[in-house]
């Protein structure tokens, strides 16, 4: 257990406002943080938030839309996003596409609305397309802020994010050597969703100072899905003497981007996103995803995979049966757990996770 004081979203927003920064409320998943930072805009991501009363969203969204979008909209309707100057909706899935469209055509928020279209496969043409898309967004931001950061400023912010990505990778690598519960580990990691770069870097560096040579003697799990909410799932895993060794989650690992190679800032930002790890919302192939999960297991020595799926999330649903088969063929056990980020984790889910970890422990004993 480390005693790290992480500022809250509210504190970060107040400080940013006091410093004259603008705030961008950003919906999931991929976007270039560096582009916004170059405009002196503080991105604050809106992943739900969980445990929101979604009644207000019911006037706009049917009940078969996932809880991430439901609470994301309810949060706006309750005034939770009032402090923001900009709303960003990346095109991650049909439901977020719908949310962006409802904002634009019906809700018409006072904030500047920015949508981002993200291409799918990893190739040159897609980098080219995305860099044009980012130039378009640059223009929109320049008009809105009356400010035009130059190439150097953009590259400076890109470099900072690239450094953070390297640091995050190191943080993951040290997972077993850190005296952190799974909840603490992910609370630190997910602070990137709203912290300024420097602050987040300091926190990671501080945590890494406590890395020791002693390894956690627990059963490692890889968790896959959109986000680890409700976070109680992490406590359940820890209670069973397990821990999350690595993840394949949209809010975390899937957004640890590699270094770009282009000198042009837009191309470089595009490269980073286009070449990111396999991701169902990008329609990655089943094999790519299975290989990625297997590599996470190999690197971390984890014993199994928990697919933690938000109910009604189609991008994730389609892959589960085939991924489970492919993992199974490699002797890796997995389980699919369904969740609603606004509901407490059910007793049945707790029992299933416990039984799963128990089974993994049992198998390792005999291995």
Partner 1 sequence: MGLKENIKYLFSYKLIGESLIKLNTKKSYKNFKPPKNWRTDILAPPLKTGVFTKEIITRHYLEGRYVNGVKPVAWVTSGAPIEILKALGFYILYPENHGALCGARKVALEISEEAEKRGYSIDICSYARTDIGSTLSKKTPVGRLPKPDLLLCCTNICQTVLYWYRVLAEYYKVPLIVIDTPFVYDEAREHDIEYVKKQLEASIEVSERVAGKSLSFSKLKEVVRLSKMAAELWLEIMNANKNKPAPISVFDQFIHMAPIVEKRGDSETVDFYSKMLDEINDRIKNGIGAVKNERKRVLWDNLPIWYKLKFLSEFLAENGVSVVASTYTNAWGELAPMMDIERPIESMARTYIYPILNRGTGHKLKTMETMVKEFELDGAILHSDRSCKPYSVGQMDQRIKLLNELGVAALLLEADHSDPRAFADEQVISRLKAFVEMMD
Between 232-239 and 347-366, two packed helices, what is the crossing angle to 10 degrees?
40
102 burial via Cβ count (<10 Å: 0-12, 13-18, 19+)? middle
Residue 111 or 309 with smaller CB distance to ligand SF4: 309
Residue 357 to residue 78: CA distance in whole angstroms:
39
Shortest CB 338 distance to ligand SF4, Å: 11
- The reply to whether 310 sits near ligand SF4 by the rule CB under 6 A is yes
Shortest CB 130 distance to partner 1, Å: 9
Residue 325 to residue 6: CA distance in whole angstroms:
40
Residue 286 or 359 with smaller CB distance to partner 1: 286
Residue 219 to residue 232: CA distance in whole angstroms:
18
Q: By beta-carbon distance, which residue lies closest to ligand SF4?
A: 313
Shortest CB 94 distance to ligand SF4, Å: 7
Q: 134: how many CB neighbours lie within 10 A of its CB?
A: 22
* Residue 286 touches which member of ligand SF4, partner 1, none, C-beta under 5-8 Å by kind: partner 1
Residue 54 to residue 69: CA distance in whole angstroms:
10
Shortest CB 281 distance to ligand SF4, Å: 5
Shortest CB 104 distance to partner 1, Å: 6
* Residue 91 touches which member of ligand SF4, partner 1, none, C-beta under 5-8 Å by kind: partner 1
What is the phi/psi pair of residue 45, to 5°? -80, 145
Binding residue count for ligand SF4, defined by CB under 6 A? 13
* Segment 78 to 137, residues that bind ligand SF4, using CB under 6 A: 92-93, 95-96
> How does DSSP assign 121-184, residue by residue?
S-SHHHHHHHHHHHHHHHHHHHHHHT----HHHHHHHHHHHHHHHHHHHHHHHTGGGS---HHH
Query: Where do contacts with partner 1 occur on this chain (CB under 8 A)?
Result: 59-62, 64-65, 91, 93-95, 97-102, 104-106, 115, 117, 119-121, 125, 129, 132-133, 136, 280-281, 283-287, 311-312, 314-315, 317-322, 324, 336
Terminal Cα-to-Cα distance of the chain (whole angstroms): 31
* Residue 284 touches which member of partner 1, ligand SF4, none, C-beta under 5-8 Å by kind: partner 1
- The reply to whether 315 sits near ligand SF4 by the rule CB under 6 A is yes
Binding site for ligand SF4 (CB under 6 A): 28, 66, 68-69, 92-93, 95-96, 226, 281, 310, 313, 315
């Amino acid at each position: 257990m480390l005693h790290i004081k992480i500022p809250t979203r509210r504190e970060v927003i107040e400080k940013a406002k006091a410093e004259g920064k603008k705030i961008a409320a950003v919906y999931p998943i991929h976007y270039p943080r560096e582009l916004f930072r170059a405009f002196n805009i503080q991105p604050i991501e809106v992943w739900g938030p969980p445990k929101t009363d979604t009644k207000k969203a019911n006037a706009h969204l049917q009940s078969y839309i996932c809880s991430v979008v439901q609470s994301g909209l309810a949060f706006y309707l309750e005034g939770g996003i009032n402090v923001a100057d900009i709303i960003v909706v990346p095109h991650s899935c049909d439901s977020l596409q719908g949310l962006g469209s409802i904002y634009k055509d019906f809700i018409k928020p006072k904030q500047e609305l920015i949508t981002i279209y993200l291409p799918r496969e990893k190739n040159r043409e897609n980098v080219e397309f995305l860099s044009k898309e980012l130039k378009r967004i640059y223009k929109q931001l320049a008009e809105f802020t009356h400010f035009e950061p130059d190439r150097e400023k953009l590259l400076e912010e890109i470099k900072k994010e690239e450094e953070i990505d390297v640091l995050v990778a190191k943080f993951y690598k040290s997972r077993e050597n850190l005296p952190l519960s799974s909840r603490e580990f992910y609370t630190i990691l997910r602070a990137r969703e709203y912290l300024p770069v420097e602050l987040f870097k300091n926190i990671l560096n501080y945590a890494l100072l406590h890395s020791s040579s002693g390894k956690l003697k627990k059963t490692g799990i890889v968790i896959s899905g959109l986000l680890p909410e409700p976070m109680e799932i992490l406590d359940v895993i820890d209670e069973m003497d397990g821990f999350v060794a690595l993840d394949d989650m949209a809010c975390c690992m899937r957004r640890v981007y590699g270094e770009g190679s282009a000198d042009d800032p837009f191309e470089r930002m595009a490269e980073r996103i286009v070449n990111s790890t396999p991701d169902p919302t990008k329609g990655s192939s089943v094999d790519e995803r299975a290989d990625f999960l297997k590599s996470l297991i190999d690197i971390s020595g984890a014993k199994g995979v928990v697919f933690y799926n938000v109910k009604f999330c189609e991008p994730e649903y389609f892959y589960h049966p085939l991924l489970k088969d492919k993992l199974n063929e490699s002797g890796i056990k997995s389980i699919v757990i369904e969740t609603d980020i606004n509901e407490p984790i059910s007793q049945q889910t707790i029992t299933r996770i416990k039984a799963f970890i128990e089974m993994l422990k049992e198998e390792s004993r005999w291995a």
